[in-house]
């Protein structure tokens, strides 16, 4: 099962990758004022056909051919709803898909964020041809990680090199600490 | 308190890496490299595929093995997750199941370094009836 948000992110972003997205953004917004945590994953992939869109949170719906069940979105939905939140998915064929999940920030059933920094960096390293944008906002500030900026700084060196991966993970972790993200 | 790292600090990493073959050069002829694909679908992720991927990236670097570690979707062996597909240069891909850090270490030391097979191989038939 998905033990934290990092696992959900790794999972749902794979959908964007399968949809051929060249740009994927992951946005987390924490609000103490409305006790909410929002996770939005948006891509510019091929989109979900309208008939499929109604059924994407049904476990017996999947676009894969290796097996007949798909649990990624159903698990995210279950997690969101168990904390008093919800999951909504908007998609347009040829334009992309946006999955938005909301959670009760202080709800007991809200799982921890987990290793979001490591997950984003692994995704970027495994898919160097795609652009990843991760933005995290808390009442204390906002941090944005953008692989386009990373690649500009790397100037020809690969984002998939182990020392680069290690550095980027530490850099994101330190910046997230600065804006005091939740556990 | 030290200063929070920023992208400008990447330059130091870059200088250290200079002289080493960059992955971009490597990817020009990936056939000459060890390729590891970690199955990263819901089933794999829930079973710890991320830790396995982290392990391979770190250990290939530490042990100085030229390799490319990427992700793939569900290969259909959900019962045996985490699964990884390892392709040695010039060889057919081999899929290993139930991979954890210990198994990954075995795969690197025995299969990648010496070509010895280790336990946990999932027989894969890439030539399906339809393709024949």
The residue extents of the domains of chain A are 5-178
- If you average pLDDT over every residue of chain A, what do you get? 92
* Chain-chain contact of A72 with B54 (C-beta, under 8 angstroms): no
- pLDDT score at B3: 85
Say yes or no for a CB contact (<8 Å) between B60 and A162. Answer: yes
Q: Are A26 and A9 in contact (CB under 8 A)?
A: yes
CATH number of the structural domain A5-178: 3.30.565.10
A116: nearest CA partner in chain B: B50
B28 pLDDT more than 70: no
CATH architecture of the region B20-122: 3-Layer(aba) Sandwich (3.40)
Rounded mean pLDDT of A155-170? 92
Least CB–CB distance from B4: residue in A126, A163, A174: A174
CB–CB contact B70 A70 (8 Å): no
In this predicted structure, what is the pLDDT of residue B22? 53
pLDDT band at B131 (very low <50, low <70, confident <90, very high): very low
Q: What is the mean pLDDT of residues B111-116?
A: 93
The sign of the CA dihedral A173, A174, A176, A177 is: positive
The model's pLDDT over B8-26, given as tens digits with 9 standing for 90+, comes to: 899 888 888 776 655 545 5
Q: Residue B43: its chain A contacts at CB < 8 A? A: 71
pLDDT reported for residue A62: 73
Mean pLDDT, chain B, whole residue set:
85
pLDDT of residue B132: 42
Taking the Cβ of residue B65 and every Cβ of chain A, the question of whether any pair is shorter than 8 Å is answered with no
Does this model's pTM top 0.90? My answer is: no
Domain map (residue ranges) of chain B: 20-122
ipTM above 0.90, yes or no: no
Three state DSSP letters for chain A: CCCCHHHHHHHHHHHHHHCCCCEEEEEEEEECCCCEEEEEEEECCCCCCHHHHCCCCCCCCCCCCCCCCCCHHHHHHHHHHHCCCCEEEEEECCCEEEEEEEEECCCCCCCCCCCHHHHHHHHHHHCCCCEEEEEEEECCEEEEEEHHHHHHHHCCCCCCCHHHHHHHHHHHHHHHHHCCCCC
């Amino acid at each position: 099962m998905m033990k934290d948000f990092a696992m959900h992110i790794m999972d749902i972003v794979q959908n964007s990758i399968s949809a051929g997205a060249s740009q994927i953004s992951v946005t987390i917004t924490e609000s103490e004022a409305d006790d909410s945590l929002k996770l939005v994953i948006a891509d510019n992939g091929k989109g979900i056909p309208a008939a499929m869109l109604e059924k994407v949170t049904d476990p017996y719906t999947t676009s894969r051919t290796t097996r007949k069940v798909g649990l990624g979105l159903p698990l995210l939905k279950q997690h969101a709803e168990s904390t008093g939140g919800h999951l909504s998915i908007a998609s347009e064929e040829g334009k992309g898909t946006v999955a938005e999940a909301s959670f009760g920030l202080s709800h007991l059933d809200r799982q921890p964020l987990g290793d979001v920094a490591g997950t984003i960096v692994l995704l970027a390293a495994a898919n160097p041809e795609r652009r990843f944008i991760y933005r995290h906002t808390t009442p204390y500030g906002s941090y944005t990680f953008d692989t386009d900026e990373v690649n500009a700084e790397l100037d020809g060196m690969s984002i998939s090199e182990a020392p680069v991966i290690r550095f980027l993970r530490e850099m994101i972790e330190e910046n997230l600490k600065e804006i005091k993200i939740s556990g | 308190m030290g200063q929070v790292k920023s992208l400008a600090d990447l330059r130091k990493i870059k200088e250290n890496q200079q002289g080493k073959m960059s992955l971009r050069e490597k990817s020009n002829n990936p056939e000459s490299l060890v390729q590891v694909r970690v199955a990263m679908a819901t089933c794999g992720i829930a079973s710890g595929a991320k830790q396995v991927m982290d392990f391979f990236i770190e250990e290939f670097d530490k042990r100085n093995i030229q390799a490319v570690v990427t992700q793939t979707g569900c290969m259909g062996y959900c019962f045996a997750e985490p699964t990884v597909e390892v392709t040695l240069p010039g060889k057919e891909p081999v899929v290993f199941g139930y991979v954890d850090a210990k198994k990954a270490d075995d795969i690197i030391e025995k299969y990648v370094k010496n070509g010895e097979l280790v336990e946990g191989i999932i027989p894969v038939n890439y030539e399906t009836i339809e393709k024949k």
